[in-house]
A = this chain, B = another copy of it.
Amino acid sequence: MFTLVASLPHARHGILKTEHGTVKTPFFMPVATAGAMKGITQRDLLELNAQILLCNTYHLHLQPGEDTVERAGGLHTFIGWEKPILTDSGGYQVFSFGKRGATNVTEEGVHFRSHLNGDAHFIGPKESMHIQHMLGADIIMVFDECPPSTAKRTSIEKAVDRTLRWAKECRKINDAYKQQTGKNPLLFGIVQGGLERDLREKCAQELQAIGFDGYAIGGLAVGENEEQMLSVVEAVAPLLPKDKPRYLMGVGDVEQIRACVERGIDMFDSVMPMRIARHGTILLSNRSQIRITNAQFKEDHSPIDPESPSHLSRQHTRSYLHHLLRANERLGETIAQMQNLGVTLQSMQQLRNAQ
């Protein structure tokens, strides 16, 4: 259940209730792909005030498999995380890996090969719902077709139609599972349509006719520029119901998040803050950023970020982090990632306070 607490001009502040507790919106979800962050423990995540994690259905299906996770007592028990979890549908991954020519899309779903060992696999709406229910996440996503935002109109049109047919099927299957298991995950629809306004509009409306617990905007942050991305968000957000959470998939830049919150988005996820951290781009709590691997930081013996939400960045110096990343020391990646995640989560807190 989603309760809107404040909504001034467009930015919103609300509370999303899940089976593992409530989450305050707007929020950012750290991505624990195969059930773990790179070099960050679950205790670290709690210290940085992470409210909810995203895990990838595709990766967990391949390894260790949803059967193992279910026997462990579900994903929360398996990974040792008591707060809410969202799983994606696997759609984005099986279509991305499709670029390597390994997939074959039918009306039932996608044939693909494991990136681990080349084994043949198949996921469609039925399989995705099954896997996500076995994993036991609090928020689950419909299986969608996700073409690049820059694809031709005809292929985007086909993708929207298939996404809508699959969304209907996912809704039906989810209803049946809910009745069968007594569990009550929130099911989110995904608005596709690339950069085509009318297709986005059609998709948003038909998804609402099916009815979901929340609505995501998919197919962005995959090649288009920032202006195009914001223009789609600006067009689609007002078409979505006010009383349901809105999730922009794959956007993790702090300033872009701010811009999208102002346009009415509630939920975000991205691996970007973590990836740029590993390569030496450090977000600071004063909204600037530095390239810590640059020569100027070799002798900068001041704290990485004295106001950081991460104790590591308050304790350690820029010269130490410079050294660790230059020397390929994993502790450097941990310090950098904790910093960028901490700053991203802190900025969400500021956005919530601003409402």
Chain A interface residues toward B at CB < 8 A: 34-43, 59, 63-64, 68, 71-73, 77-80, 298-299, 301, 311-312, 315-317, 319-320, 322-324, 326-327, 329-334
Contacts and interface: CB of A to CB of B under 8 A. Distances in A.
B327 A63 contact: yes
A64 B316 contact: no
Given A36-B329, A64-B319, 10 more contacts: A34-B327, A35-B323, A36-B331, A39-B330, A41-B331, A64-B298, A71-B301, A73-B301, A78-B317, A330-B330
Chain copies in complex: 2
Given A299-B68, A301-B73, A323 B39 contact: no
10 contacts: A35-B324, A36-B324, A39-B39, A39-B331, A39-B334, A64-B298, A64-B319, A71-B301, A78-B320, A79-B320
A108 to B, nearest CB: 28
A71 B299 contact: yes
A317 B38 CA distance: 18
Contact of A68 (B40, B73, B80, B319): B319
A82 to B, nearest CB: 11
B68 A298 contact: yes
Given A39-B334, A72-B301, A299-B71, A63 B326 contact: yes
Contacts of A301: 71-73, 77-78
Contact of A323 (B37, B43, B63, B327): B63
A319 B78 contact: yes
Contacts of A37: 331
Contacts of A320: 35, 72, 78-80
The interface centre, meaning the residue of A71, A77, A316, A320 with most chain B CB atoms within 10 A of its CB, is A320
